[in-house]
Amino acid sequence: MGEEREYKVALAGSPNVGKSTLFNVLTGSKQHVGNWPGKTIERYEGTLTHHGKRLRVIDLPGTYSLSAVSDEEIIAREFIVSERPDVVVVIVNALEFQTSMYLALQVMELTDRVVIAVNKMDAAAKRGIHVRIAELSRRLGVPVVAISALRRQGLHDLVERVLDVAEGNLVPRPHRVSYGPAEYYIREIEEVIRDCPEISRYPARWVALRLAEGDRDLEERLGKACPEVLAEIHRLREKAEKELGGPLDIVMVSKRYEVISSLYDKCIALERIMAPTFTETLDIVMLHPVLGPLTSALLMLALLVAVFSLNTGFPLNVLLAHLGLEAQAEALEKFSLAGLLGQAFDRMADSVHGVLITAGAPEWLADLASEGIVSGVGSILSFYPLILMVYLAFGFLEDSGLMARIAVVMDKLARWMGLSGKALLPIILGFGCNVPAILGTRVLESDEERKLAMLLAPIVPCQARLFVTLAVVTALVGDPFRQALMVASVYAYSLLLFVALSSLFRFTLLRGYKPPDIIIELPPYHKPSLRVLAWHAWDRSEHFIRKASTVILALSLVMWALTRTGTGGAALSLEDSYAYLLGLALTLLGSVAGLGDWRIMFAFEAGFVAKEGMIEALMIVTGASNPIEAVRSVLRGPAEALAFTLAAAVYTPCVPTLAAFYEESRNVKLTALLVLYELALAFLSASIAYHALATALRS
Amino acid sequence: MPIPLSDAPEGVELQVVAVNARGWGRIRRLLEIGLTPGTRIRVVSRAPGPIIIEVRGARFALGRGHARRVLVEVLGSGGGARV
């Protein structure tokens, strides 16, 4: 046991095979997340020690194949070629044996050092599916282990086989697919590429296979380094197509599936005739043309209400209050996550201030530390629970298999808005918080669709914008029915803008773009593991906070400086500060929309950091002790109220959203476009609404 | 008579005749999810929007544009035939 060697193990598998679960149970808490070089795709890495031997486990992106169609596929295969892992574990799904086996065959063409883990054996057994593991291993020529990652079965065995291969005690001899009549051309291509050193680091047979099928990435590189070789390959492919009566890629993919079919026939036994499964039964509802969209909408609404209520108490508190449970409603609000965090940071800011003053620090320093830094950190952390819960709730939809159905039944509706069904999840996340919405657009395969979805996502009113609307409505509208109507119309207006903007962008920025056709796997439904859900949610939100916190904190400090300093140095009151001057300048714009009050403009400045901050800013400038009073003292008539509400619902996304947008797009122009279009829209909407309503009320 | 998958009836057993997979990218996916010539498949649902198929024991939703590229032949009314 004396030697300290670390083995590098890569996990490969299609989406929905349980790869994340396996990675999580193997590495436990010893893991960290980063990004693949130059990409926004997460890279997970963790370690595990088995009988004194260390394994470093790298979770490759989930892919159905290694054909370089997507970035994920390029990352996965580049890793296998360049970083030469000691073992590649390919996870195959016992429930969807054939489709998930395809990747395994491709990996076995790239490297010998393969161990196959057949996952979900427990669920398969329940459905009467029996996998003959030994026979499978014999036919494939590599070790095969039966596991259930969820129930942690077979893991010991898996790690032992991995070590056997890593240490050379077991040398896999992967079965090579023989491509029949295509073999002649594959060998010709193998000869031709000898002349191009650019791609010599890849296994020659593999490169030949890939080029015979057609491979975007390799061909691009060949085109640059050895164009004459590429021309020769194109010539060979055309010849093959003529002589074989069909394109080489069809011949080759078919051959692989022939091998898979015969593996299936020989290695999978169905013990009994299956009754309709749970999946089939539930799918009758979920995929129904009417019930499907209805159930989907209700499901997402329920999740959003649950997340909202946990975060701020609304809307459950209103419901409780209506039922006469005032005390419970108040408790819910007080003990909501945002409430608890807010109280904690207020108290912390107070005590930091107190401690510094007692220690003899000057007032401005104590103020900077308490209001600038502690509150700045507070504002970062105050939206953390929301992001976390949004990820948890929607992670549940994704992992359970429900989200795939929702994307499918909503596809038609989404296309009408210029997106595919896949874009719906991130867009709906936006009702909770725009940050996960923007990060969530990563699932979209087409760059153009992603661009469109990212530009549109911030127009979806997040919970913080809802919070502002509610404050105004509660303060100025008495009748509960009209309150609800007003809130609903803000959402309706945002939806209208969403659709109109989508068309506008498609006619200008993204001319010629069409929402891509979907290919979505509908995996069998299953109960997600809470542990994996929590891990993923925690990890994604933490990853973002770490990256964005510098920007958010910096801008919070700028806001602090704006309110605390002015042309005369330190500002004794708000009226001496730069924030006041800026607010005053902005009233030029605001007055067009009936909002020519610097205090209102100041609220909009604060809302740039976080939309929740708008109402708090109003309370500070008006000296009001509660939101209702603050709103009443600056917004006098219904026309002003409407203008303010619409502007707040539409204008510039908050700093965290901008940070996310920039992180993901890495495009300053696009980020500027987002800010400008929302500002312009807010200004126009507010102005038109103000004048229309004011005129209507006068007559 | 081969027909496009987008026009195929629900519930009956079908056989893939050809896939028009020319060009890169997402069309290749059709082959790679197992829609190779000769494969037996079934349309689970053809409500408006994407159509749902069962291929090699897995379920996939295909956009109409993709479904038009897959030519199939009706093998018979399997009546819940499993593929």
Q: Do B50 and A521 touch (CB under 8 A)?
A: no
> Can you give the pLDDT at residue B4?
95
* Partner residues linked to A91 by β-bridges: A13, A117
Sequence-distant (≥ 6) Cβ neighbours of residue A372 within 8 angstroms: A556, A557, A560, A561, A564
Q: Do A518 and B61 touch (CB under 8 A)?
A: yes
In tens, the pLDDT along B12-46 reads: 999 999 988 665 556 788 999 999 999 999 999 88
Q: Do B47 and A96 touch (CB under 8 A)?
A: no
For chain B, say whether A326 makes contact (Cβ under 8 Å). Answer: no
What residue in A sits closest to B69 (Cα-Cα)? Answer: A517
Q: What is the full DSSP assignment across A139-204?
A: HHTS-EEE-BTTTTBSHHHHHHHHHHHHTTSS---PPPPP-GGGHHHHHHHHHHGGG-GGGTTS-H
Compute how many other C-beta atoms are within 10 angstroms of the C-beta atom of residue A47.
16
Among residues A659, A399, A424, the alpha carbon closest in space to that of A545 is found at A659
What domains, with CATH codes, occur in chain A?
A: 6-166 (3.40.50.300), 180-270 (1.10.287.1770), 305-513+528-537 (no CATH), 553-698 (no CATH)
Element (H, E) at B52: strand B51-55
Question: What contacts 24+ positions apart, CB below 8 Å, involve A201-205?
Answer: A201/A81, A201/A82, A202/A81, A203/A81, A203/A110, A203/A111, A205/A109
Spatial separation of the C-alpha atoms in residues A406 and A300, rounded to whole Å:
9
Task: Give, as one character, the DSSP assignment of residue A39.
Answer: S
Give yes or no for a contact between B76 and B19, defined as CB atoms under 8 angstroms apart.
no
Q: Is B48 helix (H, G, I), strand (E, B) or coil?
A: coil
> Can you give the pLDDT at residue A273?
60
Sequence-distant (≥ 6) Cβ neighbours of residue A322 within 8 angstroms: none
> Is the pLDDT score of B82 beyond 70?
no
For chain A, say whether B29 makes contact (Cβ under 8 Å). Answer: yes
Whole-structure pTM value:
0.87
> Can you give the pLDDT at residue B23?
59
Give yes or no for a contact between B20 and A58, defined as CB atoms under 8 angstroms apart.
no
The ipTM, to two decimals, is 0.91
Closest Cβ opposite residue B22 in set A247, A409, A445: A247
Q: Hey, what's the torsion of the CAs at A416, A417, A422, A426, to 10 degrees?
A: -160
Question: What contacts 24+ positions apart, CB below 8 Å, involve A504-508?
Answer: A505/A418, A505/A452, A505/A455, A505/A456, A506/A418, A506/A452
Pairing of strands B58-62, A519-522: antiparallel
The rounded average pLDDT for each run of 10 residues, N- to C-terminus, in chain A (699 residues) is 78 92 87 72 89 94 88 92 96 95 96 97 90 97 96 96 96 94 95 88 92 91 92 94 89 95 94 74 92 94 90 82 85 83 87 92 88 78 83 90 94 94 91 90 90 96 90 86 90 96 95 92 90 86 78 78 84 84 91 92 88 84 84 90 94 89 92 95 96 91
Q: What is the full DSSP assignment across A214-260?
A: --HHHHHHHHHH-HHHHHHHHHHHHHHHHHHTS-HHHHHHHHHHHHH
Location of structure tokens 């859900």: A533
Chain B residues closer than 8 Å to A102 by CB: 32, 34
For chain A, say whether B45 makes contact (Cβ under 8 Å). Answer: yes
> Can you give the pLDDT at residue A390?
87
> Can you give the pLDDT at residue A450?
95
> Can you give the pLDDT at residue B79?
47
A541-to-A126, A533, A547, A548, A649 alpha-carbon distances in Å: 36, 12, 10, 10, 24
> Can you give the pLDDT at residue B81?
42
A220-to-A231, A255, B29 alpha-carbon distances in Å: 12, 26, 20
* E runs forming strands in A460-556: 519-522
